[in-house]
Amino acid sequence: MVTDCNNIKAKVLTAALPYIQKYTGRTVVIKYGGNAMIHQELKKAVMSDIILLSLVGIHVVLVHGGGPEISGMLKKLDIPSRFIDGLRYTDEETAEVVQMVLAGKTNKDLVSLIGQLGGKAIGLCGIDGGMIKAKKIQGDYGYVGEITEINTEPITQAIQSGYIPVIATVGTDCKGQTYNINADTAAAEIAAALQAENIITLTDIRGLMRDISDENSLIPVVKIDEVETLINDGIISGGMIPKVKSLKKSVLSGVEKAVMIDGRIVHSILIEMFSDEGVGTMFMK
Q: List residues forming the annotated binding site for substrate.
A: 66-67, 88, 180
* Sheet bearing 145-150, strands edge to edge: 145-150, 132-136, 170-172, 178-180
Residue type, 17: L
Residues 6 or more apart in contact with residue 1 via CB below 8 angstroms:
none
* Residue 27: half-sphere exposure toward Cβ, Cα within 13 Å: 24
What whole-number distance in Å separates Cα of residue 266 and Cα of residue 255?
A: 25
**Rounded Cα–Cα distance for residues 70 and 78 (Å):** 12
- What contacts 247, CB < 8 A, 6 or more positions away? 184, 188, 199, 201, 258, 259, 260, 283
User: Which residues lie across from 84 on neighbouring strands?
Assistant: 87
Residues forming the annotated binding site? Answer: 66-67, 88, 180
Which regions of 74-215 does DSSP assign to beta strands (E)?
A: 83-84, 87-88, 121-125, 132-136, 145-150, 164-168, 170-172, 178-180, 198-203
Q: Using CA atoms, how far apart are residues 83 and 75, in angstroms rounded to an integer?
A: 14
Cα separation, 74 vs 268, whole angstroms: 31
Give the C-alpha separation, 53 to 240, whole Å.
27
Burial category of 53 from C-beta neighbours within 10 Å (exposed 0-12, middle 13-18, buried 19 and up):
buried
Q: Collect all residues with Cβ–Cβ distance below 8 Å to 162 and sequence separation of at least 6.
A: 120
